Amino acid sequence: MAALTTRTRSRPSLLAAHPARSVVVAFAFAVVAGTLLLSLPVASEDGSATGLVTALFTATSAVCVTGLAVVDTGTYWSGFGEGVILALIQVGGFGIMTMASMLALLISGRLRLRMQLTAQAETRSLGIGDVRRVLLGVAGTTLVVELTVGAVLALRFRYGYGESVGSAAYLGYFHAVSAFNNAGFGLHADNITRYAGDGWVLLPVAAAVILGGLGFPVLLELLRHRHRQRTTGRRTWTLHTKLTLIVTVVLLAVGTVLTCVLEWTNPGTLGSHSTADKILGGFFHSAMTRTAGFNAVDIGAMEASTLLMTCVLMFIGGGSAGTAGGIKVTTFAVLLVAIIAEVRGEPHSVVLGRRLAAHVLRQALTVALLGVALVVGSTLLLLTLVHERMEPVLFEVVSAFATVGLSTGITADLPGAGQLLLTGLMFVGRLGPITLVSALALRERTRRYELPEERPIIG
């Protein structure tokens, strides 16, 4: 009886010690449920049962809000199947923002008192007792953005393209949900390339993608400080919000300029468009590299230099605790600041008047290097399975890891083993950074002694 009591008591402590496991289990359960539903004959347009690999790939892509597809969403799946995909996208996006924010709260609750006080003075965003506010905030933000963008798109489809009221509403809200959750699933075989040059479609979609990619902590802080500025006239943002906004704007601008420069005369992409449409197309493509997956131009026709630039932007991704993937813009910013400090010979990494803690640098380096290793290893493995050039294979791997969904068009032609590889990559890429950083933060401990210091030769 004593042994049984001891074993029963140890289970809650094990779960508390590894809370990220519950995130993985929850998303795995959603993927399994989605796979079973999409395998049903009623989910396909022709009434036949869908193969396990296709159903699993689609369900994983939807839950992990990636957007990669091995069959055309608008023609292969029935209304029931499209509804399942939409529900999986919504559950995945809401779950990612909620789970990531909850893990942040849990981490702050497990820190020592001195670190809690320091973190609270610095962040002033999410506190230990903010569970209810997180849930309501994520739900409210999601609802407002999706309804607003969906209404704008529905009106455009109704009066700009002659769609019926029901069809326009369905198209509008499907794309709005897919955009805010950074999924990139479209209902047309050409994704949304038919709307290239139409700012009334591209700009609302891009806005939803950017907002979803910023992350809920940033959105919450922007809304709260907007109210505070009205009452006090002061605007004070946390370091996390400042870094996320600055790096996001810079990457959007760099991506827009590079896309326009590299594809300006390419007849397969931007070459045949007007100057205004080229700039719009360049901005839209740059915004989609925030891990959205919509494309208004043919990705497969892009120059190799543009594909490489896109891979870099996709790998960086978007903001933390949001629907975007990648290693996150704050990770990229921390590494960049560390490089600048080392080049200048400064003892500490300083950014925007704040000194970065050493453990933050180690976590950022760990996430980035593990991401590089995963991408390189998966690319090498996929190259052994298919007879393709390295550029499109690397592009598909980065797109899957960063949960982007942009594709050069080879995903549907991959063998089953290749599709399963991308399926696992989407799942690991979506949940890996979240669970990894949470595990690293929760395992943080203070060493009571120091070993002798010695420096190996570097370089």
- Quick: pLDDT tens for 19-69: 566 777 788 888 999 999 999 999 999 999 999 999 999 999 999 889 899
Contact present, 369 and 332 (Cβ < 8 Å): no
Kind of pairing, strands 350-351 and 354-355? antiparallel
Number of C-beta neighbours around residue 429 at 10 A: 30
Nearest to 67 by CA among 375, 368, 325: 325
DSSP string of 280-334, one letter each residue:
HHHHHHHHHTTTT---SS-GGGS-HHHHHHHHHHHHH---TTSS--SS-HHHHHH
Helix 52-63 vs helix 416-442: angle between axes, to the nearest 10 degrees? Answer: 30
Q: Which residue has the higher pLDDT, 418 or 293?
A: 418
Q: What is the pLDDT of residues 216-239, one digit of tens each?
A: 788 888 877 665 555 555 567 888
Question: Which amino acid is located at 251 in the chain?
Answer: L
Every domain of the chain and the residues it spans? 21-115+123-442
pLDDT attached to residue 220: 81
- What is d(CA 229, CA 223) in angstroms, rounded to the nearest whole number? 10
Contact present, 422 and 411 (Cβ < 8 Å): yes
Contact present, 426 and 61 (Cβ < 8 Å): yes
Task: Give me 296's structure tokens.
Answer: 């208004």
Q: Looking at residues 185-193, what average pLDDT do you find? A: 88
In the structure, what pLDDT confidence band is assigned to residue 3 with cuts at 50, 70 and 90?
Answer: very low
Contact present, 352 and 239 (Cβ < 8 Å): yes
Q: What is the DSSP code (8-state) at residue 392?
A: H
Answer whether residue 443 shows pLDDT above 70: no
pLDDT attached to residue 26: 80
- What is d(CA 441, CA 182) in angstroms, rounded to the nearest whole number? 27
pLDDT attached to residue 119: 38
Answer whether residue 211 shows pLDDT above 70: yes
Answer whether residue 310 shows pLDDT above 70: yes
pLDDT attached to residue 449: 66
pLDDT attached to residue 400: 93
Q: Looking at residues 100-116, what average pLDDT do you find? A: 50
pLDDT attached to residue 10: 41
Contact present, 397 and 425 (Cβ < 8 Å): yes
**Which residues are 77's β-sheet partners?**
44
Q: Which residue has the higher pLDDT, 18 or 363?
A: 363
Q: What is the pLDDT of residues 71-86, one digit of tens each?
A: 998 889 999 999 999 9
pLDDT attached to residue 99: 63
Q: Looking at residues 309-325, what average pLDDT do you find? A: 88
pLDDT attached to residue 274: 92
pLDDT attached to residue 367: 87
Q: What is the pLDDT of residues 133-178, one digit of tens each?
A: 667 777 888 899 999 999 999 999 999 999 999 999 999 999 999 9
Answer whether residue 17 shows pLDDT above 70: no
Phi first, then psi: give them for residue 285, nearest 5 degrees.
-65, -40
Q: Which of 136-145, 264-273, 315-324 has the highest mean pLDDT?
A: 264-273
Q: What is the pLDDT of residues 341-350, one digit of tens each?
A: 988 888 888 8
Task: Give me 326's structure tokens.
Answer: 């990648």
Q: Which residue has the higher pLDDT, 415 or 3?
A: 415
**Mean confidence (pLDDT) of the chain:** 83
Q: What is the pLDDT of residues 364-407, one digit of tens each?
A: 888 899 899 999 999 999 999 998 889 999 999 999 999 998 99
Task: Give me 429's structure tokens.
Answer: 């890429």
Answer whether residue 122 shows pLDDT above 50: no
pLDDT attached to residue 398: 95
Q: Looking at residues 272-288, what average pLDDT do you find? A: 94
In the structure, what pLDDT confidence band is assigned to residue 209 with cuts at 50, 70 and 90?
Answer: very high
- Percent of the chain past pLDDT 90, that is, above it, reads 50
- Percent of the chain past pLDDT 70, that is, above it, reads 80
